[in-house]
Amino acid sequence: MTDFHPDMSREAFAAALRENAQAQQFPGAMLMPKSRHDYVGAVIAITGTLYFDGGYTQLKREAIAQCFDDYLAHAGDALTWLWRGEPPSGPPCMPYVKAPKLRDFFETLDEDDKVDLQYTSGTKREDAGPYSFYVNAAPAWAAKKTGRLDVLRFALPFVDIVEQPKAFQTLFVEFAARLQALHGHGGFGFVLSPSEWNSNQPTEAFASEQARGVDVGAPVFSAMVLKPDTFKTVSWLTAINRDMVAQAGGLHTLRSELPPDWFAFYDYGAGIVVQAGNEPDLAATAIDPKPPQYALPNVALKSLRSAVFGLHLAASAAGEPRLTGLKGEAWVERFDVSDEELLDVKARLLDTPRLDATHTLDDRL
């Protein structure tokens, strides 16, 4: 999915992706026989997830609004619905064209109100769509008491990455800078139905066995367990804050372990973003479940990975797969390699495409 045929132009590849959009969709609750199925339960898109703090402050809420402005400039008229969790007034879901502006919504909240919203692009309100902008920020009292992190996650179709090779990296780095992100990751990810996500987590769990490079789990679940200095996973783009860079041995050490022909580093003020390869990788188990461009950053940053994880609900309703317990642990550790494997991984990196100017930002470190 990440590579086009050498005889096919980039434009033709993009057209083929648009014509076969259904191949990137999963029917609703496909592993839950007693649930309804007449909607799009999940899609594979390119997702960027950033964890930050202070989402209850006016400063961070304005930063979120600025991120949404930039996202809209890229997404155009793709958004169709706004979902809100426990809104102070109005229905939880409304058509995007009738929804209040994001800044207007923020003005109705005080610092002890939670921010929980998702803009989506599904045809029906239950449909998952490849365009999504999700924010969950704890109220002031909860954030100060528990230290729980806030999270912003945005998604674009893979075809957008093909047509505009630098667009996603630009948004990810800019959003990380505005939010003063503590850490985050970006690459292939599942976007689930905004209202039927629980019934579609089993689909996510099943499909993740076939594509290890696709991010899984509810972002808010991870926000509840991650700390300012522990991250969830490496991906095509991996953000870590300056304290984490120091804990990993400093930028010089990271550069030596992640050579510049294959890895780019970007400064976002509060930390750095590492880009691994020109485009995100599905890490298909039938091809290479541990691609070197993901396995090597995983080695370099493994000491910073969270010892606890929050991906799926803890209990299965009817024996359906869920990424909890040992299965969840296996997903978190999916790019781990032994000392004996490491030399082979480094050798395999030499056979992968080198970074090129078309796919990297101009201001790399």
Condensed to tens digits (0 to 9), the pLDDT of residues 51-95 reads: 999 999 999 999 999 999 999 999 999 999 999 998 877 899 999
How far, in Å, CA of 184 to CA of 186, rounded?
A: 7
| pLDDT of 34 | 84
- pLDDT tens across the length of the chain (365 residues): 444 444 455 566 456 556 666 667 999 999 998 889 999 999 999 999 999 999 999 999 999 999 999 999 999 999 999 999 988 778 999 999 999 899 999 999 999 999 999 999 999 999 999 999 999 999 999 999 999 999 999 999 998 888 999 999 999 999 999 999 999 999 999 999 999 999 999 999 999 999 999 999 999 999 999 999 999 999 999 999 999 999 999 999 999 999 999 999 999 999 999 999 999 999 999 999 999 999 999 999 999 999 999 999 877 777 899 999 999 999 999 999 999 999 999 999 999 999 999 999 999 99
How far, in Å, CA of 93 to CA of 254, rounded?
A: 45
How far, in Å, CA of 196 to CA of 36, rounded?
A: 10
DSSP 320: -
- Could you give the 3-state DSSP secondary structure of residue 28? coil
- Mean pLDDT score across all residues of the chain: 93
- Could you give the 3-state DSSP secondary structure of residue 8? coil
| Residue 332 contacts residue 282 (beta carbons within 8 Å) | no
How far, in Å, CA of 309 to CA of 312, rounded?
A: 9
How far, in Å, CA of 308 to CA of 209, rounded?
A: 20
Strand pairing report for 132-137 and 115-120: antiparallel
| pLDDT of 318 | 77
| pLDDT of 7 | 46
How far, in Å, CA of 280 to CA of 277, rounded?
A: 7
Q: In terms of C-beta density within 10 A (0-12 exposed, 13-18 middle, 19 or more buried), how is residue 275 classed?
A: buried
16: phi then psi, degrees, rounded to nearest 5: -65, -40
| pLDDT of 161 | 86
